[in-house]
Structure 1
């Protein structure tokens, strides 16, 4: 798509979007490009500067993993502490939490994943659990 600043012979300025420069030329030649204000079909392109994004400095890459504000920084710190001080038990979270509560395995700090009905059952049974505000890191092949 290309946007042109246009002007009719009566002096009205407007703009239009076209599939290509050739599309503008063929539509204009056929009389299908008309002024949006007065309807005159005698329209010409005006001189315009192209819209160009500024180039990045050499070597500058977007830093997608860095926190962009204080909230994101606090969340990243929380995640770091949870991962550093707890064991990830994955989808076995509900079973592990229940087994620790019942005393069949030793207590330790864990985090993982549970389906909503599993988490609800743990809470209803008095087992203290809380959702974390982040998803666990996934291993990629």
Structure 2
């Protein structure tokens, strides 16, 4: 599955990435108000211009490809990407796999998400990781009450992909 990664910005100025199955997927989610800022929950989102990452250093005639940091500096053997550098495809795949596993280990409470999150927060239900469906207003209300929530894109939730 090929993903489209867009730079997005909320009305409060927070910039973040959004991962979508296609441009049409982004447009559909945006028009339905399903995209919100992960920092403040603001639903007024705009897509920013972003340049594709292309490695064309080896395409210039007569020039060898630029060495990787570990080739140029053998002492730099850390597996972590340099600050500001994009993680490799393998690292991204590993992160996505881990995120899906974390989501699989949550209880899907469906449309009762807001109510169940409040019950857990107030000690009226057992503490456990949950996921479900909530409107933008419900998410904002939970955030205002000090209950941490984060939207999960459908592509990470196996229940919503079926």
Q: Does TM-score exceed 0.5, indicating one fold?
A: no
TM-score bin (small chain): 0.3 to 0.5
Given the two structures, how large is their TM-score scaled by the length of structure 1? 0.43
Greater RCO, CA 8 A, separation 6+: 2
Greater helix percent: which structure? 2
Given the two structures, how large is their TM-score scaled by the length of structure 2? 0.38
